[in-house]
Structure 1
Amino acid sequence: MADLAALIARLCPPGTACAAVAIGAAPTPWPGEAEAVRRAVPARRAEFAAGRAAARAAMARLGLSPREVPQGADRAPVWPEGVVGSISHDAGLAVAALRLGPPHIGIDLEPDHPLPPALWPEIIGPDERAEAMAQADPGRAARVIFAAKEAAFKAQYPVTGALLGFDAMRVSIDGADVSARLTGPVGTWPAGTELRGGWAVAGGRIAVAMRLPG
């Protein structure tokens, strides 16, 4: 877990702290967080608690005292003032990446399995499909494209409040680097605005981190 957290930190801008917690190993959410999952099934409560525990561990690495991370009405984490961050879960593990101030970041964890071809039309456009097919492992490339979009959605949401579809951006892969260009205007950003990031594989998982421009 520590290796994965360190890997994600390297994918993020300098000054980002990351931590990982096994789902099921974390205590219950803190009082100000618990209401968000009061009616949730046990698996979701465990996932939520692990994500919040990972966030507090990342806070400690930033030199901050642990604080509650409640869930907003839009279901997004409400970070302490001055903190930006992102949480992701996959296959028994929760990871949080936090930093003090911009740029906003988004992370996503996915299993290192090919994206099923039946999902391609819903998630990736014709240009992205061609790019995936040109990669050494098209199924993995398609999974990276999906993860990059998920991470980019998380990065932009605190700034724009926009709920984007998969066609809202076009993802390109260049070695270990990845970029996502908006296909239309979002908030104050014009079409063509680019979010950048990187991807890597560790422990049977694909990790992607994206950051806002500027």
Structure 2
Amino acid sequence: MTADPLAVEAALRSLFPAGVAVAVEPILPASATRLWPEEKPAIAGAVPARLAEFVAGRTAARRALSRLDRLPQALPMARDRAPIWPEGISGSIAHAAGLALAVVREGPPIGVDIEDDSAIAPDLWPVLCGPEELARLGPDPGTEVKRLFCAKEAVFKAQAPHSRAMFGHEILSVTLAGNRFDAQFQTDAGAFRAGQIVRGRIVVAGGLVLAGVAI
């Protein structure tokens, strides 16, 4: 059962400072006719599930932009698959568990991720976590690894377009502390330097994990 979008939107808003606009849309069967012409090449030949995610994500993004008093406009996809935002806008989109999230603001990069709050299988823990993170795992390690994964995804998305880089989970060492986390870079990656710490927030609501980063 899909979580209540309004409840998830309230939880999402709690992750970010003032000036960040958020929106949540259910992922439903959709037609490409709901997209702008500049967006359609991104989903040419896409299966129905991917099309539904894309439409919901762009719909959420336009609704979030309207909360910044921005007029609706096309949000095409860059070569690295990230959205191309309007001039002066930073944003992030995420999909999971039947919902699409969008966060936007005027200013520095922001990132968001959503995951279902289920445990990750033990064979994947060393893939997603470094030795220090594995050593810190508590009594419910599979669920904790999912939250570390969610935090890392949010940090990955919080990159400026001109300096965006691909990097794996081993690049970050995340420490969870209640509804907050610190993500420390182990090596240089894009505009981030080794040793730099990015701070974010994380919340569990309605069977979902939400993580947000505002650089």
Q: Is the 8 A contact 1:26 1:53 kept in 2?
A: no
State the match for 1:149 in structure 2.
152
Q: Is the 8 A contact 2:29 2:49 kept in 1?
A: no
Partner amino acid for 2:52? A
Q: How does 1:3-82 map to 2 (within 5 A)?
A: 3-24=7-28, 28-82=34-88
Q: How does 1:159-170 map to 2 (within 5 A)?
A: 159-170=162-173
SS at match of 1:39: coil
Q: Is the 8 A contact 1:17 1:61 kept in 2?
A: yes
- Provide closer, same or farther for how the CA distance between residues 159 and 141 of structure 1 changes in structure 2, counting only shifts above 3 A: farther
Partner amino acid for 1:113? S
Note the alpha carbon deviations across 1:109-163, whole angstroms, 9 max, x for none. Answer: 0001112211101100111112223xx5322211110011111011025352210
TM-score, normalisation: structure 1: 0.92
Partner amino acid for 1:20? V
State the match for 1:130 in structure 2.
135
Shift in Å, 1:188: 4.6
State the match for 2:111 in structure 1.
106
Note the alpha carbon deviations across 1:75-108, whole angstroms, 9 max, x for none. Answer: 1100001110100000211010011112x11111
> What 5-or-longer segments of structure 1 have no aligned partner?
none
SS at match of 1:156: coil
Give the whole-Å Cα distance in 2 for the aligned partners of 1:35 and 1:188: 29
State the match for 2:102 in structure 1.
96
Shift in Å, 1:186: 2.4
TM-score, normalisation: structure 2: 0.92
- Provide closer, same or farther for how the CA distance between residues 16 and 208 of structure 1 changes in structure 2, counting only shifts above 3 A: same
CA-based RMSD: 1.5
SS at match of 2:137: helix
Q: Is the 8 A contact 1:111 1:205 kept in 2?
A: yes
> How much identity, in percent, do the aligned residues show?
44
Partner amino acid for 2:135? A
> Is 1:197 paired with 2:200?
yes
Deviates more, 1:184-193 or 1:87-96: 184-193
SS at match of 2:42: helix
Deviates more, 1:158-167 or 1:123-132: 158-167
SS at match of 2:14: helix
Q: What is the total number of aligned residue pairs between the two structures?
A: 209
Note the alpha carbon deviations across 1:168-207, whole angstroms, 9 max, x for none. Answer: 1100011111111000122353211111111111121100
Q: Which runs of 4+ in 1 moved over 6 A?
A: none
Q: 2:178 aligned to 169, 175, 181, which one?
A: 175
Partner amino acid for 1:12? F
State the match for 2:93 in structure 1.
87
Shift in Å, 1:6: 2.2
